[in-house]
Amino acid sequence: MVNMPLAHDLLWGMTPAQLPADAPQWAIESLAAGQPVVVRRALSDEGFIAVGVRGVLREQRLAAFMAVDSIACRVSPEALCHVECERDLPVMQALKQLRPMLDDCGWVWGVSGSVGFELASGFTAMHAASDLDLILRTPQLITRNQARKLVAVFDHAVCRVDMQLQTPFGAVALREWAGGSARVLLKNAHQACLVADPWNPQEQAA
């Protein structure tokens, strides 16, 4: 299918009837309330997409599969970069602080996690101790030195900032790529594996 949803996209249209028979009550209530689901990295049968259902509590996360034909609306993380929120929380202060730098970095970026969920849906997900989760679309290599400079900027924010680099082969954590390990964890729909270069995963570290 053309333009299939990507990891971290938010989708509306899934109903409680699409949940597994043993789904917890909180998941049924979340979908019944009209909450979106978030696309996750996992293989799915043709005509379905792997998603996660969010509950009110952090531990309330349910892996499920949504019928592609049920998708009524899709919002990507990059569509949320300039969405404002009246709630004066550290995560929103950090987003406002970092926005100019991210806009000027030359890469497409987006907001995911609890912040993205609330900005897109209006359902309360952020709190005073929330992290700011970001993604960066990086079709070409970001050097480890560039990654370290980004981390240094993020470390001056008023809350913890985590970023995933979205390479053509999967996602890698910015902080891990900025670190000193010879190999880093690359996650995609098929697997999570240690690679020397997330943009050229066939080249394994010795």
Report the catalytic residues.
131, 133
For residues 193 and 201, is the Cβ–Cβ distance under 8 A?
Answer: yes
> For 59, which DSSP code?
T
Nearest residue to 73 via CA among 12, 20, 139, 31: 12
For residues 20 and 65, is the Cβ–Cβ distance under 8 A?
Answer: no
Q: How far apart are CA 154 and CA 109, in angstroms?
A: 14
- CA torsion 85→89→91→96, rounded to 10°? 60
For residues 182 and 205, is the Cβ–Cβ distance under 8 A?
Answer: yes
Q: How many CB atoms lie within 10 A of CB 103?
A: 11
For residues 10 and 135, is the Cβ–Cβ distance under 8 A?
Answer: no
